[in-house]
Amino acid sequence: MQKSLHIDPGKCTGCLQCELACSFENENVFNPAKSRIKVFRFHDIGRMVPYTCTQCDEAWCMKACPVEAITTDAATGAKVVSDALCVGCKVCTIACPFGTVNYNASTGKVMKCDLCGGDPECAKACPTQAITYVDANWTGLDRMRDWAAKTDSGARASA
């Protein structure tokens, strides 16, 4: 069974360990600005929300890529950017309605969560289990999937 990141905002303390782990794993720097997971803080309601790509089935980023630089990792289901093929056109960054593909000006490529090849550093770094890596069926990504369905610009075919 494929696994997914499960995010439980109620458990997040806003410590940003996930952002540091992500940027170090992927960009070799401890720099939250280069992290592919971001923690949004809503101080007025005391809520912290870690947020990253859900590897959605619709995969607008992958479909919009003009040069086949984003593909699905068969083992993890992650939508993965090939740096060798990405030309840096940024169309995926406007196509993704979740805003989880970002352009990295220092490399001239786009970057997004790739689940670290099946061993996500953010989940390992999280001290409160606000981020866990679990069987896909348990992740309760329904809310995001509902959102995804709303954004879908073309209705799905009825057979």
Partner 1 sequence: MQHVIVGAGPAGVVAAETLRKGDPKAKITLIGGEPEPPYSRMAIPYLLDGNIAEEGTYLRKGAKHYDALGIQYVHGRAESVAPAEGKLKLEGGDQVPFDRLLVATGARPIQPRVPGIDRPGIHGCWTLADAREIAKLSKSGSNIVLVGAGFIGCIIMEALASRGGNLTVVEMEDRMLARMMDATGGAMMRRWCENKKIRVLTGRKVVGVEADAKGPGDKAVALDNGEKLNAHLVVLAVGVRSNVEFLKGSGVKIDHGIVVNDQMQSSVANIYAAGDVAEGPDFSTGGHMVHAIQPTAVDHGRIAALNMLGKTAHYKGSLIMNVLDTVGLISSSFGKWEGTKGGESSAAVDNDRYRYLRLEFDGDHLIGALGIGMTEHVGVLRGLIQTKTALGDWKRKLLADPHRVMEAYVARSQV
Tally Cβ neighbours within 10 Å of residue 49. 15
Give least dist CB 84 to partner 1, A.
Answer: 9
In contact, 63 and 152? CB cutoff 8 Å: no
For the chain, first and last CA: distance in Å? 27
- Interface segment toward partner 1; rule CB under 8 A; list 11-19, 21-29, 42-50, 119-127: 42-50
Q: How many whole angstroms separate alpha carbon 108 and alpha carbon 95?
A: 18
- Sole window of 11-19, 22-30, 38-46, 130-138 interacting with partner 1 (rule: CB under 8 A): 38-46
DSSP 76: T
Residues 90-149 binding partner 1 (CB under 8 A) are: 90-91, 93-105, 108, 143-144, 147
The count of residues interacting with partner 1 (CB under 8 A) is 47
For residue 50, give both structure tokens: 């870690």
Nearest approach, Cβ of 75 to partner 1 (angstroms)? 20
Binding range to partner 1, per CB under 8 A, among 19-27, 56-64, 72-80, 123-131? 56-64
How far is it, in rounded angstroms, from Cα 62 to Cα 98? 14
Q: Which is nearer to partner 1, 24 or 51 (CB)?
A: 51
**Ramachandran region, residue 84 (left: φ > 0; alpha: ψ -120 to 50; beta: rest):** alpha
68 scored as a contact of partner 1 (CB under 8 A): yes
Q: Specify whether the CB–CB gap between 34 and 26 falls below 8 A.
A: yes
Q: Which residues bind partner 1 (CB under 8 A)?
A: 9, 38, 40, 42, 45, 47, 49, 51, 60, 63-64, 66-68, 85, 87-91, 93-105, 108, 143-144, 147, 150-159
